[in-house]
Structure 1
């Protein structure tokens, strides 16, 4: 005899289905996702990429436990547009983002209201956190909390002094600050904030950001999370703790054309401090028992700086479109899926991080409008098919369009009707321009680039003259950047740097 009536059986079945498909249960199979982004890190300034004079044991271990990409690219050769591409998962020229934000209090500068990887992961049930550098604008609609981050700890400018402004090493230079500020110091002296509140801090900034990342893990490890740890190291200014600099004597540093031994020594200490921070963060992942269900990505936002970094054998550096400006170190640790210690040589892009992460979280990159590809089959070895047969960049910021295209082994650079063509397989250092000897290839590739670039949008903002100095955001109160005005900002002519 059946003890349950049909109605009761149906009711019980419904309850069981609800429990089975509850968000908590469904989320358990989804990995936590961490993206660690360095700022202006040279291509060969990490041990696993061949560096000899800087110690990066934790980044190297990440590569040993996961896969390392030898042909990873970002979407631009400067930090602002590159980060805009990464954060939105879209080629930034499709929404008109071609310049660094230089006037952070100008609401016209920075990200428009557009979905981000963080907001897309929020919809998949992830708690989202960001730590460090933002550089996407400061208006209310551009604040990280309004762009998909449940929790934000960091600074909204494009850089930051590595110590509080009253630190003895500055010898009173920034207390008080001269007004109006040089545009650089409008960015580099903005307060560190936790969401909308100013934070009091005392230690070296890289350590402060690491601690904030660790704290985010401690608060949110019981639910699926996305953490974007956006270090500003090793971006200028060149500052590091003296005890770390002492680990890198000037006479032991690699000799790099255009780089002084002193600069290289301090830069090495900055990379070292970042690597230590990454080790501390990953140790917390292990201590919380999350290592088997946490995917960790590491990359730089663009190529290394000319005065500090080693991009060799690549040509160029931050700010130009040779390989040294666009190709970056990139690593992913995907426990149980990514073959440990493997090097993947096919071209991939920072846009693929967002697309792949969204698929891991249960979302759909195509319906979400993302431009990257799900590269899980390539990472795991289930497929050896090249993820991208062709890659495009739009690097034009002014009247004349300019850009880059890579198709197979060939790379085309186009600027002001000037073309350069290189075979990266035979000439990774881009020493021999083949444009004159292969005109048909140039013609075909250029036509394809122009067709692709036809979807590009006009600039969101142009040359502003670097004059907007202050704003009246609540989180600026108590800083030299705050000024009460009717429209939230005032204008002052920029002045020369203090030096």
Structure 2
């Protein structure tokens, strides 16, 4: 073999060796762009006070919800999806932190939003944890976690926030003709409810003007976030106010739901159900627009979309059947909610899963999807990806616990398999949910040993609850936050 041929062989061999090293290096150390693009976008849509049976996918007959039904059929729907408390504030505190709220002393709703003691303590949230995984984080709608500078969503992990900081909001601007001057100007101190419901809409720390129906305003804000952040891995918390009271909707929407055509629900007036239906329909339409925007931006295939309500539906408006109870109750109608997730390419569309899962699992699983470690973050939920993808048929939870007292009193719920025990102030209730989903027959007297064993387990779980973050209310009407300027609740500290 001549020297020229030998040099060619050596050159080719070196080239192949270098190429092999390059390919191996690329495989072992993918470029940052590839890592970023592999992270799924994550959206959590939370309704407020939506009844268990108020979506078509859960059996509703009088309120069309085509977009949410399509989202449920494109994903995995849970029949035993639970939240951590039967009312807004503690339930949302549990989801946002990924932790049982009694473990850090959050036992009741923020009722006095300008009382600096009320609301979240300094704590990690789903947003701050996802930021650590390289996500840009956004929130839209209801906060209800306090109003101090340290409790503001921007200080709790949200890069971008459009919404309101109270526990609800009137659905039209305060000068809307339907209010007949009731709120503009406010002539006397407001009760706790309307103090919260007349706070301004803000974008981060600036007040903004808004002109349209609130649900539509929030949808538009969510769409703007998607358009702006579409090139980065993002997390978006769409925290709708609907269908929380007050009962308000555009007249043309209410007209779609004549009272005489609404389902007959015990304790619900047809006229109230009519407006409630309009509110749910408006929310469904908005969610349809958000999902369409994902399609338009070619983001759908890499976006996980969760949906749930923050607690059970209201006695005045909602249909929680076949469950017993409503918002505020420890029965299934207070804590079991519509819940589903669309995870394209991973979770089988149309799957219905019956084992219990919780809102805490949404937080933990989202962190895991983003590449984080829920256990290292000391979250109380479970990463349910193996359950969602049917890699395992083992239920994520054998036993679930709730602390339901509005304080540290020993009141709560334990669900162990099919059995559920409610521990009240003076009595206990035991139900077999598999045989009696409506909780109609209290079995406590028939199974005293099971009652004692389950109660002992709950008491052991409840031992490390924290003292209340606050007690009592201070009806503080004014504050000097810059984002309050222009609202009826702004007053300079010098006044």
Q: Is the 8 A contact 1:397 1:459 kept in 2?
A: no
1:305 pairs with 2:324: no
**Equivalent in 68, 76, 89 of residue 85 of structure 2:** 76
Matched, 1:321 2:344: no
> Is residue 388 of structure 1 aligned with residue 397 of structure 2?
yes
User: Aligned equivalents of 2:366 and 2:271: distance in 1?
Assistant: 40
1:178 to partner: Cα distance: 2.2
Shift of 1:23: 3.4
Which residue is 1:449 aligned to?
Answer: 458
- Are 1:347 and 1:386, in contact at CA under 8 Å, matched by a contact in 2? yes
Tell me how far apart the structure 2 counterparts of residues 258 and 16 of structure 1 sit (CA, whole Å): 67
Contact 2:408 2:468 in 1 (8 A): no
Query: 2-side partners of 1:88 and 1:399: how far apart?
Result: 19
2:100 corresponds to which residue?
Answer: 91
- Give the SS at the match of 2:477: strand
The alpha carbon displacement at 1:211 in A equals 0.3
Q: TM-score, normalised by structure 1?
A: 0.94
The equivalent of 1:476 in structure 2 is 484
Match in the other structure for 2:6: none
How much has 1:17 moved relative to structure 2?
Answer: 6.3
Residue 256 of structure 1 corresponds to: 265
- Specify whether residues 437 and 15 from structure 1 end up closer, same or farther in structure 2 by C-alpha distance, changes over 3 A only: closer
After TM superposition, give the deviation of residue 25 of structure 1 in Å.
2.3
Does residue 485 of structure 1 match 2:490? no
**Which position in structure 1 is the counterpart of 2:50?**
41
CA separation of 1:431 and 1:18: change in aligned 2, threshold 3 A:
closer
CA contact (8 A) 2:408 2:465 kept: no
Q: CA deviation at 1:18?
A: 12
2: distance between equivalents of 1:227 and 1:287? 17
In structure 1, stretches of 5+ residues that fail to align are 491-499
Change (3 A) 1:469 1:23: farther
1:274 to 268, 278, 283: 283
Question: Are the equivalent residues in 1 in contact too, given 2:107–2:407 (CA < 8 A)?
Answer: no
Task: Output aligned runs, 1:100-499, within 5 Å.
Answer: 100-398=109-407, 400-464=409-473, 466-485=474-493
Deviation at 1:429, TM superposition (A): 0.5
The alignment's C-alpha RMSD in Å is: 2.0
Counterpart residue number, 1:61: 70
Aligned-partner SS, 2:34: helix
Please report how far the alpha carbon of residue 179 of structure 1 lies from its aligned counterpart in structure 2 after TM superposition.
3.1
Deviations 1:206-253 (A, max 9, x none): 000000000000000001000000001000000001111111011000
**Structure-2 change in CA distance of 1:346 and 1:175 (3 Å):** same
Could you tell which deviates more after superposition, 346-355 or 334-343? 334-343
Do the aligned partners of 1:400 and 1:415 also contact (CA within 8 Å) in 2? no
What is the aligned length? 483
Matches of 1:221 and 1:112 in 2, distance apart?
Answer: 31
Change (3 A) 1:14 1:178: farther
Structure 2: 5+ residue stretches without partners: 1-9
C-alpha separation between the residues in 2 aligned to 1:103 and 1:427?
39
TM-score by length of 2: 0.94
Shift of 1:205: 0.3
Partner of 2:4: none
Q: Structure 1 CA distance, aligned partners of 2:436 and 2:53?
A: 17
